[in-house]
């Protein structure tokens, strides 16, 4: 059995372009394979490339998130930095409306990702950074057997 590893070209921008990565994967890997896509999937317009890749390959998405992305910790004013743009904003974590908006945004992002993978016929695991991933992957492969 041969193993193929495709590394995308060096980034030319400071933001994540999941669409470009999936297109690159589709162009480079010619033979059908199982491909794990690890990401937070906070990227726009990747569903078409995901669909094309999933038609040719067995795609398994692994969405990684930090528990603090799910529930905003109540710690007062918090400077938040966008890792891709370096923009800084102040977030009042004691504000109930801000906390609710934060939870809603996380839920919407989770649903968007889940729905995209379902429409493409690809599997998706959503894992917290605090979860042990081996039992979850093992369960997925047992289910797919």
Parent domain of 77 = 18-144
Domain for residue 87, yes or no? Answer: yes
**Distance, CA of 91 to CA of 114 (rounded, Å):** 27
Dihedral, 43, 35, 113, 52 alpha carbons, nearest 10: 80
Domain for residue 12, yes or no? Answer: no
Domain for residue 6, yes or no? Answer: no
Kindly give the confidence (pLDDT) of every residue in the chain, 145 residues in length, as a single tens digit, with 9 standing for 90 and above: 444 444 445 545 556 789 999 999 988 998 999 999 999 998 878 999 999 999 999 999 999 999 888 888 888 888 888 877 888 888 888 988 888 988 999 999 999 999 999 999 999 999 999 999 899 989 988 988 8
One DSSP character per residue, 66-99 reads: -HHHHS----SEEEEE-TTT--EEEEETT-HHHH
Counting the structural domains of the chain, the total is 1
Domain for residue 123, yes or no? Answer: yes
Domain for residue 53, yes or no? Answer: yes
Domain for residue 10, yes or no? Answer: no
Domain for residue 2, yes or no? Answer: no
Domain for residue 13, yes or no? Answer: no
What values do phi and psi take at 59, rounded to 5?
-95, 130
């Amino acid at each position: 059995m041969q193993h193929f590893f495709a590394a995308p070209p060096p980034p030319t921008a400071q933001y994540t372009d999941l669409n470009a990565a999936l297109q690159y994967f589709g162009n480079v890997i010619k033979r059908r394979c199982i491909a794990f896509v690890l990401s937070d999937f906070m990227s726009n317009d990747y569903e078409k490339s995901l669909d094309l890749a999933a038609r040719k390959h067995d795609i398994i998405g692994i969405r990684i998130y930090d528990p603090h992305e799910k529930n905003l910790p109540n710690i007062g004013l918090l400077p938040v930095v966008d890792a891709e743009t370096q923009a800084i904003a102040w977030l009042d974590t004691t504000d109930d409306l801000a906390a609710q908006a934060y939870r809603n945004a996380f839920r919407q992002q989770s649903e968007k990702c889940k729905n995209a993978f379902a429409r493409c016929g690809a599997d998706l695991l959503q894992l917290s950074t605090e979860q042990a991933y081996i039992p979850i992957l093992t369960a997925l492969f047992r289910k797919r057997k």
